[in-house]
Amino acid sequence: MVIWSEPARVDLRSIHDFIAHNSRFYAKKVTRDIAAKTDILNELPLMGRIVPELSNMKIRELSLYSYRILYEINDQDVFVLAVIHKRRDLQPEIIDQ
C-alpha cells in the first residue's frame, strides 16, 4: 500500500498553490500527475532509483516534471516521504520525519 506522509502531503499542497498563482488548471494537473505516479509503487516498489545522496536501498525516488518524489519501502508498504523540486538540495530532515 502506498501511504503519503503528512510532510509529503504538505509538499504537494505547496506545489499546487505555487503553480495556481499562474494557472489553476496546471496546478491540478501537476499535482494529480504526481499523486498518480506513485500508484505503480503498489506493484513495483523497486521501480524508482536509489537516492544518490543517501545510498540506501530502501529510500528511492521517482522523477516527474521538475520534481523528485522520495519514498521508502517498508515491508509491504511504501511511504511517500517528500516531493521536492529537482533544484532543491536534499535536506536530511526531509528523510528523518
Q: What are the extents of the domains in the chain?
A: 2-95
Q: How confident is the model at residue 94 (pLDDT cuts 50, 70, 90)?
A: low
Q: Please give the model's pTM, rounded to 2 decimal places.
A: 0.89
For residues 74 and 45, the answer to whether their CB atoms sit within 8 Å is no
Residue 96: per-residue pLDDT:
59
Q: Which CATH number fits domain 2-95: 3.30.2310.20, 3.40.50.300, 1.10.540.10, 3.40.50.2000?
A: 3.30.2310.20
**DSSP character at residue 74:** E
pLDDT digits (tens, 9 = 90+) for 12-65: 999 999 999 999 999 999 999 999 999 999 999 999 999 998 889 999 999 999
Residue 47: per-residue pLDDT:
95
Cβ-Cβ contacts under 8 Å for 4 (sequence gap 6 or more):
12, 35, 38, 79, 80
Q: What is the end-to-end Cα distance of the chain in Å, rounded?
A: 19
Closest CA to 9 of 82, 78, 65: 82
Q: How confident is the model at residue 89 (pLDDT cuts 50, 70, 90)?
A: confident
